[in-house]
Amino acid sequence: MSGKETVQAVENAETAQWLERIARREAKIGVIGLGYVGLPLTLLFSEERFRVTGFDVDAAKVEKLNAGGSYIHRIEPEHIQAAQKSGFHATSNFAEIADVDAVLICVPTPLSEHRTPDMSYIVSTMESIAPHLRAGQLVVLESTTYPGTTEEILVPILEKHGAVRGVRAVRAGAEPGGGVMVAFSPEREDPGNTKVNRRDIPKVVGGLESAATATAAALYNTIFHRVVPVSSPAAAEMTKLLENIYRCVNIALVNELKQLSLRMGIDIWEVIDAAATKPFGFQPFYPGPGLGGHCIPIDPFYLSWKAKEFDFSTRFIELAGEVNEAMPYHVVQAVSAALNEHCKSLKGSRMLVLGLAYKKDVDDLRESPSLTIIEMLQHAGAEVSYNDPFFPTVGRGRKYHLDMTSTPLEDLASYDCVLIVTDHSSYDYRKIVAEAQLVVDSRNATRGIASPKIVRC
Ligand SMILES: NC(=O)c1ccc[n+]([C@@H]2O[C@H](COP(=O)([O-])OP(=O)(O)OC[C@H]3O[C@@H](n4cnc5c(N)ncnc54)[C@H](O)[C@@H]3O)[C@@H](O)[C@H]2O)c1
């Protein structure tokens, strides 16, 4: 047999063993990074009776989970306790990687200060786990990243530790079948979306070799109703970016058309609803005060950065970024104009901002336009309070410094303006409009309410 055929034979036998262990729920799962993505993923595998070990460098999270608690709003402590009954525990001890069969990596992939991909979390995870990996394990990266990351970042670290398998490794002198299998499978969750069941979101999987794709696909098939295999990790990485760039560009388009519609005296939300009745060729996107969250404001720039290596300029991404980043300025401008109509200026006015979270009904502040808007209003001399049921206080972050406490929704008439930035479902918008002097609404949360006090922007 040729070297390639020997590798194939060993791998086929191993894959068959893996599939059997998955079917019998004997495969042990390790999830690295127990945040908004990793913790729900852990719970899905636990529900399917897999034993899951969760790894996180945050000792407070590990302690909380092991005490049966939760730190994510939509995950109840009972869910964690049910997972514990299926064998779940959390740890910061990466030596425990040797005890699991599959390692699923869900660590952050932010942008650096200079808006370049920050790969430090992935690199540090790989450096922590590589010494403990053993032959036959499956390593899957789920973090959103640029095409090429799996092969260019993960594989070299594994090679350095002699831990990657397949023809490449055999050529480098390893035994056939030795080393781990590697795949990329993007997380496609939409936090706060109660319409789509997580198990109904198809899981895209691209392995470094066919055995990795087949094994990862079989594993994910136990928790997702559909798995979509693609030919390589890079194709899976690009799939995730295409999805998020599509969203980012279309949101920019409606944000631009909203500004034009405002000038023309047309209600853009009415227009979008009418256009959405077309049964083909149109998908509605909605304007807002700016992008937020860990995905849409960040992921497209992973591709722009990578494109430069190919002398390619991603003009749609740059233009969408420009339009979306200008939206908080548009909102502040609209507040200023609305106050002006009441013969008031921003400087010295009392403002109540409703909603800190980046979108409704989530406890996530990352990249939230609310933070930018509050800072801009303060900078202009306004006296700003906020209310958000998910955030009793807000301190300092990478890009903001607020140190504020959520104000009760009382005495609304005492504010010169109530500004709706996040349209949480728990707010009673009729009551807010009835009590406030002036309401500036950046989300169309007051839809259906007719009042001269409302300015939609
Ligand atoms: N949040 C979303 O809605 C969403 C949706 C799709 C994809 N994603 C992607 O999933 C990835 C994770 O995002 P998230 O929202 O879950 O982030 P998160 O910040 O909520 O969670 C990441 C977790 O990783 C831990 N961590 C950091 N470095 C670590 C290390 N070296 N070892 C172990 N743990 C470490 C952190 O303590 C944290 O608990 C990102 O790439 C993101 O782009 C997120």
Q: Where are the domains of the chain?
A: 3-231, 268-456
The residues lining ligand 1, judged by C-beta closer than 6 Å to any ligand atom, are 32-38, 55-58, 61, 106-109, 121, 124-125, 143-144, 187, 189, 191, 294-295
What's the token pair of residue 414? 């005492």
Distance from the alpha carbon of residue 382 to the mean position of ligand 1, in angstroms: 35
- Report the distance separating Cα 433 and Cα 413, nearest Å: 10
What is the tens place of the pLDDT at every residue in 174-188?
Answer: 665 678 999 999 999
Please state the separation of Cα 437 from the chain's center in Å: 37
More confident residue, 194 or 236: 236
Give the per-residue pLDDT at 14. Answer: 79
Question: At residue 232, what is the residue type?
Answer: S
- The CATH class, in words, for 268-456 is alpha beta
Q: How far is CA 245 from the centre of its chain?
A: 13
Of all protein residues, the one whose alpha carbon is nearest to atom 10 of ligand 1 is: 143
DSSP state of 150: I
Q: Is the pLDDT of residue 172 over 70?
A: no
Instruction: Over range 125-140, report the average pLDDT.
Output: 94
Terminal C-alpha separation, the chain? 70
pLDDT, residue 2, reads 63
Q: Give the burial class of 218: count Cβ atoms within 10 A of its Cβ; 0-12 exposed, 13-18 middle, 19 or more buried.
A: buried
**What pairs with residue 141 in β-bridges?**
105, 184
**From CA 111, how far away is CA 101, in angstroms rounded?**
31
The pLDDT assigned to 15 comes to: 84
Q: Over 80: is that where the pLDDT of 168 sits?
A: no
Q: How far is the CA of 38 from the centre of ligand 1 (A)?
A: 7
User: Residue 377 in contact with residue 402, Cβ under 8 Å?
Assistant: no
The average confidence (pLDDT) of the chain is 94
Positive or negative, the CA dihedral 297, 237, 364, 97 is negative
Structure confidence at residue 113 as a pLDDT band (50, 70, 90)? confident
Active-site residue, 457 included: no
pLDDT tops 80 at residue 39: yes
Per the CB < 8 A criterion, the answer to whether 228 and 31 are in contact is: no
pTM, two decimals, is: 0.92
pLDDT for res 451: 97
- For residue 207, the surrounding DSSP H or E stretch is strand 203-207
- Give residue 429 CA to ligand 1 midpoint distance, Å: 34
Determine the length of the chain: 457
Distance CA(180)–CA(182), nearest Å, equals 6
Q: What pLDDT sits at residue 220?
A: 98
User: What is the band of 41 on the pLDDT scale with cuts at 50, 70, 90?
Assistant: very high
Pocket test for ligand 1, best of 41, 58, 71, 106 (most atoms within 8 A of CB): 106
Question: What's the token pair of residue 412?
Answer: 């609304």
CATH entry 1.20.1420.30 includes domain 3-231 = no
Contacts of residue 109, defined as CB under 8 A and 6 or more positions apart, other chains included, come to 117, 118, 119, 121, 122, 143, 144, 145, 298, 302
pLDDT of 1 above 90: no
Q: For 439, phi and psi rounded to 5 degrees?
A: -125, 120
Residue 5, pLDDT above cutoff 80: no
CA 45, CA 304: separation in Å to the nearest integer? Answer: 34
User: 340: which residues sit within 8 A by CB, 6+ positions away?
Assistant: none
What is the predicted pLDDT for the residue at 218? 96
**What dihedral angle (degrees, nearest 10) is formed by the CA atoms of 73, 75, 81, 87?**
-130
DSSP annotation string for 280-338: SS-------S---SSSTTTHHHHHHHHHHTTT---HHHHHHHHHHHTHHHHHHHHHHHH
Strand-pairing partners, residue 138, are 102, 181
